[in-house]
Every structure is written in structure tokens, then in C-alpha cells.
Chains A and B, each alone.
Chain A
């Protein structure tokens, strides 16, 4: 028995050795001429086609040389010597019609002389097959599951990704038309810059949120306003907005809502008169920086828009929208802001408020301040030395952890892994509809509607984004729209400034103010407020939020038109 096993192992080793030897010899046996045949393959929307199999085929139908296209759609085929006549160039790619074209005599002659020949760009035409419909249905199902709250966002996206793989791997065994993409192909669509940027910022936020700075700032707002509630509202909106520009909106509202309720109770006013304008401000001002909202992180990473670009091109519009929002909030809540109950117990409550509004971790806050400043400098200057924002966030988070030395387990737990898994699986789901061509068809449709009219395209993206964001989650919407916007940017004169990406940012984020389910920050605020006995219903939020959407999106649209036309 042992001898048989030994014999088997020896045979295996010999076979392996032979195979290696064979491979070792093959380059020498192949006599390469040094000639190269290169080119780029695009789809009909002008996007490079990645991973297409390009083959040089002999007249007898045998492949002589093969290569796959790179991310930029380029291929390069090494040409053997001697070169047989009647060669064909064949291109195959899942979800596209295959293409074959004969090599022209002059091309062949140049290759025989050992030259490098760059062929004209080639365009592959999309093929709609069963894989297209399956990927589309899975994506729509994920959107519905998220919007209807039937499944947790992450579970819905995870389910979508798992189904896509199941169809691709098991279904493809039945029919190759069921193939959508393999695991490697799916990972190609995951934007790791986004994942690491969010992760780094989560660690920084976890340190900052425990210092008590938010509670202290809110109390200072009360102090500065000296009982003038209209002023208190403005200061709270500014604090919330500025915090949201650097931290995520959900965290900002999680921390600001309880203390705001306490201030309102102390003053004897309805907390909703402060909370609703605050959450509006959070959704609006959040988009003024690259790191303020997940949608901006997605947009910035995809379109290579830097921290500075957001500051220059969006912040003035955001400030304009904030001013509009402040005026609107004062008008809408003017009665509530004056309706102090004056029951004489507020002094005791204020004393309690003062006791609580202290910075609990002064040293940590100082260190976080220095690290935050360093990160800000790197975010602003990083583009000069090709420093990705995700790297800055990771450096900042690590520096803070090393300097403060908190309980590392606790800090890692503070990272919202559920959200990160959501992003990864969402990228895969969006990648699938991109892979099968749905995004290209949508892009084609929008392009046909807006033609080459930049103003029309801007307004369509802003308002479509804003209205859709009131009913569907803005993160999957933004992720799906990015390749569409990239296509429109290429085709519309004047859009090279990436203006359409800023329009998407404004629409998808400010649209969140239109309904209670439009933004996670709204839901969190409603959840806490409900637990203090102040319910924010869907209808109530819609009544206050939709006009806020019209005002802020309108003002931001005016700014973008002025800035880019």
C-alpha cells in the first residue's frame, strides 16, 4: 500500500517536472519576431472594454496568439515569426457580440518587418441575453428590499451579490449566456479607495465622539444665544452643518439629537423646532467636503475629484442653500420658537445641562484636533503628490490610535463593518448591471433625452437625483449613476469640468431632505426623538422637508449654473 502511494507521488512529481520543463522550453521554441499588434477596444458609450479576449487566428482557424485587454481597453499581441497569411483578429467578451476582422496586407507586411502596429480603435456592440435580465432583476430586487426595509441594507446587497455569483457559476454550467461575471471580475468593480476612506474616518470619529465635544458645543450655542431661540437655532444649524462636513451625518445627528432635546426641554420649546432644521442642515452642508457624505466619497473616488475641488465648486452653493434653509426654518418654526412654556423649572434643568456639557476627554480631544488638522492639510495638499484620500484617512486613524492608545478592540468594534460590507456587496451588484450593459443603455437613453445641452443635463441630474433620493436609498442610486454620468461627461460639450458629478452630489444628498426615509440621518433623528416622546412621522417630515428640498436644491442649482456656465 505504502509502495503504491510512493509510486503515485513519484509519478505526480515526474509529471509536474515534465510540465515545467515543457513550459521552460516553450519561449525558446516560439520564435518571436519582436513585432507587436496593439489597439484599444471600447463599447458604444466610449468606455474601455476590460478583459476582452483578443486572438490572432490563422486561416485554418487556430489561435496563434492571444491576449486580454487591460483596464483601459488596450491589448498587445506579440507576433510570431514567420507570420502565416490570411490572419484574422478575433475579439470575444461576455455580454458583447464577438467580432472578427481580417488583418490587412499592409498591416501584415509591417508586422513581418518587426514593427509595432497600432490598429484603429475598435467598438464592441452590447448583447442583451438572459444574464442581462437576471442581473437587472437582482439589482431592482435589492433596491426594493432596501427601500421597503424588508431586509437590512447590508443583507439585501449581500443577497444580491450571492445570487449573482450563484447564477454566474452554477447557471453558466447550463448556458454560457447565464454568466454575468466571475469572482475576480466582480472584485474589479469594488472601489477600495472608498472602503478604506470610510473605515479610516470611522476610527477617527470613534475617538472624537467620546470626548463630549458635541455636547459642549451645543451647550455653548445655548449660552451664546442667551435665550434668543431664533439665534440658538441658527448656531445649532451651523454647528451641525460644519460637523457634518467632516464627520458622517448619522454620527453627527446621533450625538446632536439627545443634547438638542435636552436644551429644548430646558427652554420649554418643542424639540422638533430645533431638530428638523438641524437634520436639514446636516444633509445640506455635508456635501461641502469630500468626506462629508458617503455619496461624495463615492463620487470623489470614481471621478477623481479632490477635497479642494469639492470645496471650491460646491461649498459656495452649499452656503447659499444653508442661508435659504435658515430663513425657511425661522419662518416655518416661528411659532414653536416663541412658545416657551415658562413653567419655572428650567433653571434646575439648565444646571443639569451644564453639568453634562463638559469635555470628558480633554487630552484625547487635543490630540484628535492635531491629527484632524494634519489630515485636513493632507486632504487639501494630497493631490499634489498623488496621495489618495483613503491613505490620508488611514494614516490619520493610525496616528490617532498610536498617540492615544485607546482599547484597540473597542476602536475596531466602533468601525461599522456592516456598512463596509454593504458598500463592497453594493459595488458588486452595481458592477453586475454595468457588466451586462444596463448602465450603458440608461446612459444612452439619458444622452438621447438631453442631447448636447449641458444646462438640460445639469438640471435633469440634479432634480432627478433629488426626487429619486426621497424614495430610494441615495448610496445605491449614486453608485449606479456614476458610470452614467461618466458617459454623459464625455459626450456633452462643457461637461469636462466634471460639473455633472457635482450635480449628482447635490441631487442625491440634498434630496435626502425630501422625505423621512431619504437619508439615514433623518431616521436616526426620528428614532431618538420618538424615544423622547416627540414623534416625527413620515407625513410631518414630508410637509417640512419637501419645501426645504425645493429651496436648497434650487439655490444649489443656481450656484452650479453660475459656476460652470
Chain B
């Protein structure tokens, strides 16, 4: 099931990434797999005991964000599906891309530098090299 993996967070910052994935899907005729990763690191300072409930809520929210994105893609005539994973963003993107034997991985541009789950330019370069060597997929970025 080859295709395009597009990891998104939602919001305005994800729009160029989504559009890039849609354009690439039109170009290659492949399906897009929108990926939302639930990451609960922000609970470290406030309360791990709530993890069970909040993980469920975040999954629901992720599904919702993905549904909205899927509708956008399908309106442009592109086949898309949404997948929610839980864990570290980098690891989950690589794992999922390996699972579906993705040909392309579309990544967004930096937002919120210094955070573990967001990529700055340097880390993005490093991550794209890691992706290409570990998954065999090509890393693609929207134009800045």
C-alpha cells in the first residue's frame, strides 16, 4: 500500500503542508495518509495520572482534525485517509512510513523552535536524511 505520508498538527501552519501533499498526490496518483501523533509530553508538569483520559480525548481530537483534512483532500479529487498514533512524533512518522512502505513523506516547516516535537531547519534536514535512509521514502517540503 504505497502512498504519501503527511504528518500534520492542524491549524494554519499545517495548510501549506496539506496542500503540498495534495499536489503531490495529484501528480503521482497516490493516496495520502494523513498522520496525527498524540504526544502527551506537556502533561509532565501537570499530571501524569490524567494520561488515560486525556489520551482518549486527544485521539478523538486528532481524528477530528484528520477528518477535516481528508474532506479538503477529497474535494480536490485525491484519495485520503487519516491515522492517529500515540508517542514521539519522529519515531511514529518513521514507523508508520515503514509500515505502509511510503514513497513520499511530506513534512511541515518549523514552528515553535526548540521543542522536541517540532522541527527547526537544522533538525528538519537531519530528520529528512534519517527518514530517507530508514524508510526509503523521499522527504518532501512545501515551499516556504
Contacts and interface: CB of A to CB of B under 8 A. Distances in A.
B61 A416 contact: no
Given A262-B64, A265-B65, A523-B42, A210 B53 contact: yes
Contact of B10 (A345, A410, A527, A534): A534
B45 A417 contact: no
Interface string A510-529: 00000000001001101110
Interface stretch (B11-19, B21-29, B120-128): B11-19
A533 interface: yes
B50 A528 contact: no
B58 to A, nearest CB: 6
B1 interface: no
B112 A414 contact: no
Chain A contact-residue range equals 35 or more
Interface stretch (A116-124, A253-261, A544-552): A253-261
Interface in A528-543: 528, 530-535
B57 to A, nearest CB: 4
B116 interface: no
A257 to B, nearest CB: 8
Given A258-B60, A527-B42, A533 B9 contact: yes
A254 B57 contact: yes
Contacts of A210: 53
A348 B71 contact: yes
Secondary structure at chain B's binding surface: helix, strand, loop or mixed?
Answer: helix
A349 B48 contact: no
Contacts of A353: 64
Of B8, B57, B67, B75, chain A has the most CB atoms within 10 Å of the CB of: B57
A398 to B, nearest CB: 19
B114 interface: no
Contacts of B47: 250, 416, 418-419, 520
Contact of B39 (A265, A410, A531): A531
Given A348-B71, A533-B14, A152 B45 contact: yes
B112 A535 contact: yes
Chain B contact-residue range equals 35 or more
Contacts of A254: 50, 53-54, 57
Interface in B95-124: 111-112
Interface string B38-77: 1100111111111011100110110111011001100100
A282 to B, nearest CB: 13
A527 B11 contact: no
A535 B57 contact: no
Contacts of A523: 42, 45-46
A60 to B, nearest CB: 61
B58 A531 contact: yes
A532 B64 CA distance: 10
B57 A255 contact: yes
Contacts of B54: 254-255, 528
A265 B64 contact: yes
A417 B11 contact: no
A356 interface: yes
A454 interface: no
Contact of A255 (B8, B44, B53, B67): B53
Contacts of B67: 348-349, 352
Contact of A265 (B9, B45, B46, B68): B68
